[in-house]
Amino acid sequence: MRVSHPFTNQLAREKSPYLLQHAHNPVDWCAWNDEAFAKARTENKPIFLSIGYSTCHWCHVMERESFEDEKIGAFLNEHFVSIKVDREERPDVDKIYMTFVQSTTGSGGWPLNVFLTPDLKPFFGGTYFPPDARYGRPSFLQLLEQIANLWRERQMEIAASADELHARLELVVARDAKENLPLTPETLRQALEMFKQADDPVNGGFGSAPKFPQPGIPSLVLRAAKRFGDAAAKQMVLHTCNQMAAGGIHDQLGGGFARYAVDAEWLVPHFEKMLYDNAQLAQLYLDAFLVSGDVRHAEVVRDILDYILRDMTHPAGGFFSAEDADSEGHEGKYYCWTHDELAKLLSPEEFIVAANYFGITKAGNFVDHSHPHPLPGLNVLSIVNLQLAAADKPLLAAAKDKMLAVRAKRIRPHLDDKILASWNGLMLGAFAHASAVLGEEKYRAAAEKNFQFLREKLWDEKSRTLFHRWRDGERDQVQLLEGYAFLLDGVIQLYEATLEPRHLDFAIELAEAMIAKFYDPANGGFWQSPAGASDLILRVKDDYDGAEPSGNSVATLALLKLGKITGNEKFTSAAEQTLQLAAARLQKLPAALAFMLHALDFWLEEPRRVVVCGDTASTNFHELLRAAHSVYQPNKIILGNAGAVEPFAKTLSAKNSATAFVCTGSACQPPTQEPAQLKVNLLD
């Protein structure tokens, strides 16, 4: 049955799920393209730029309140050229205007709403604007009226102000290596002390509510704890991992983690699930497992990756982007339970165990304050009682099976099914690393399938170009540093997990293309976008590791590793220059570049090289390879003796059976054919 809509705008032609959500608003939305910019210039209208993403809860709220309002739509259509941007498809556009809003208002977030001159220069912006006047602030329509009046009466002043703001913005994003600052372990030590001071000793994590996992920080603390022999710091991270895994931020039935918790206890999540969070958390829990030996940490990794395989994977192998927080208009409705609902579903014995384990109460522990009519008595599931009697474990398992079966019949949150090179690179690395650490063949197969998908759908062999997004049979034409960098990191991890020379060959191709398109040889560092992008008013070097690591940070660590694997000085040099560019920021604001500090930690001394030689199909080869991955030694690389590896590795060979060498520089420990001895060699 065909659904008719009273309004349809140009976004109906787009592939982005976020843009398609707005295709039937009364606002005459345009996509971010030359046609829209020309319209603004021809009609001499300011641009209203609205940026968000399809699983953004407050984006949905503002759409319901304002963008579906016919009066607001009519006003926007008369006085503005309105443009929608999916920040996940165009993080380079988002970065520019988010930097403007953060620098002029002191805060940022999504939806991001910015007013631009027809030449794309911003002059006013903010995040969520309410539909009615409150707290001394105007309603969204009143704001639009004020800006339309200013444009009509004082356009020259606005243009001059926009030019001045643009000049200031250029200074904000300028990144030149002005000082030749030393890069030493002291920078890591200072960062470690700062994170230790921010630690929440009760609930785990760093800082207070709202609490984001930010996996780059705890994984850095683990690295620094190993470097400095700091047992307290190590324990701090393991405590954080345990608290997050027990919290409501972790989907206790279906697996995976939500984006953040609104409280300090990790109890009530903002329910959207993002691919990039889960990829980084899988890596963090793999590290925690290697450090602690606690099988619960390995179970969390499996829980995340099994969720991705079940709910977030395209049949051809690509990984989808996100799942929404909302279903049926209510945040968290899909995930929450009432006391009475569970009492009816479960047997009395199962209910007692489940209610005790998950902390189920009649009052509930979650209220959707963004909804005018919140559902009563909702419980977010968290583990409040880990101590289960042996007799209770089968009862809990039976209860969880029943709950999962019922939940599967509920209306699922919206799935953002676009496939991004960047986030897929992160998850490719997680699957590859997990396959090696946990010995799970299905994870290796998933990594290989994903790698093949990305090569077929997003990589152009002839031009050595990696495009950013694929959806519904079509790729875009956007190129971004983070796509190249994150995929490079993932492919290097796939090589280290398999020692397949063809994976190393592709990593080299990708790294060379990344350097050619994005590297700044004059000052070091990588631009977020290639030269000549006509729709960007600034060329930016992203230097902030937030929920996602920056392209510069990931590129630096990946190139350092690739330089050591291949012996290619070009890769190492580009990484070192990028580290030098970041030196002042690493010392002054380590929390802003936590992942770049991973690269610094790797760079500070010659890494250990584990060279595994022999018949790659043999059982002993695979046992040695797994042993090489089973020791927490973050500053090591694993390579074979075939293909494009560095010259010294090619001089090593197996003796009768698969053999492993642990080398530093050109000095190696005695070769071994025993996995247990290889672990000992790595621990020395």
Each residue of 463-496: pLDDT tens digit?
A: 999 999 999 999 999 999 999 999 999 999 999 9
Confidence of residue 370 (pLDDT cuts 50, 70, 90): confident
Q: Is the dihedral of CA 320, 324, 328, 334 positive or negative?
A: positive
Q: What is the pTM of this model?
A: 0.95
Amino acid occupying residue 480: L
Q: Is pLDDT larger for residue 170 or for residue 336?
A: 336
Q: Is the pLDDT of residue 672 over 60?
A: yes
- For the residues 132-150, what does the mean pLDDT come to? 90
Distance CA 659, CA 614 (A): 6
State percent of the chain over pLDDT 90. Answer: 87
* pLDDT for the residue 165: 86
Neighbours of 502 (CB within 10 A): 11
Q: Is the pLDDT of residue 5 over 80?
A: no
Q: Is the pLDDT of residue 364 over 70?
A: yes
DSSP structural state of residue 2: P
Q: Is the pLDDT of residue 27 over 90?
A: yes
* pLDDT for the residue 178: 55
Confidence of residue 1 (pLDDT cuts 50, 70, 90): very low
Angle subtended by helix axes 140-153 and 70-79, to nearest 10 = 20
Q: Is the pLDDT of residue 449 over 60?
A: yes
* pLDDT for the residue 176: 63
- For the residues 525-533, what does the mean pLDDT come to? 91
* pLDDT for the residue 485: 98
- For the residues 249-265, what does the mean pLDDT come to? 96
Confidence of residue 177 (pLDDT cuts 50, 70, 90): low
* pLDDT for the residue 179: 62
Longest dimension (CA), the chain: 86
DSSP structural state of residue 325: S
Q: Is the pLDDT of residue 2 over 60?
A: no
Least confident span in 74-83, 325-334, 645-654:
325-334
- For the residues 80-97, what does the mean pLDDT come to? 96
DSSP structural state of residue 655: B
Closest CA to 592 of 528, 540, 545: 545
Q: How far is CA 306 from CA 231, 242, 301, 311, 442, in A?
A: 32, 19, 8, 8, 10
Amino acid occupying residue 610: V
Distance CA 652, CA 613 (A): 7
Q: Is the pLDDT of residue 233 over 50?
A: yes
Distance CA 238, CA 291 (A): 9
* pLDDT for the residue 608: 95
* Per-residue model confidence as pLDDT tens digits over 261-284: 999 999 999 999 999 999 999 999
Tokens for 28?
């005459």
- Can the peptide bond before residue 111 be classed as cis, meaning omega within 30 degrees of 0? yes
* pLDDT for the residue 371: 80
Across all residues in the chain, what is the average pLDDT?
Answer: 94
* Helix, coil or strand: residue 554: helix
Tokens for 356?
């005790």
Confidence of residue 67 (pLDDT cuts 50, 70, 90): very high
Q: Is the dihedral of CA 159, 135, 77, 92 positive or negative?
A: positive
DSSP structural state of residue 257: B
Parallel/antiparallel/unpaired status of strands 608-613 and 636-639: parallel
Distance CA 625, CA 162 (A): 57
Q: Is the dihedral of CA 403, 405, 409, 411 positive or negative?
A: positive
- For the residues 582-586, what does the mean pLDDT come to? 92
Distance CA 211, CA 244 (A): 10
| Sequence-separated contacts (24+) of 680-684 with Cβ below 8 Å | 682/608, 682/610, 682/628, 682/631, 682/633, 682/636, 683/631, 683/633
Give CA 273 to chain center in angstroms. Answer: 11
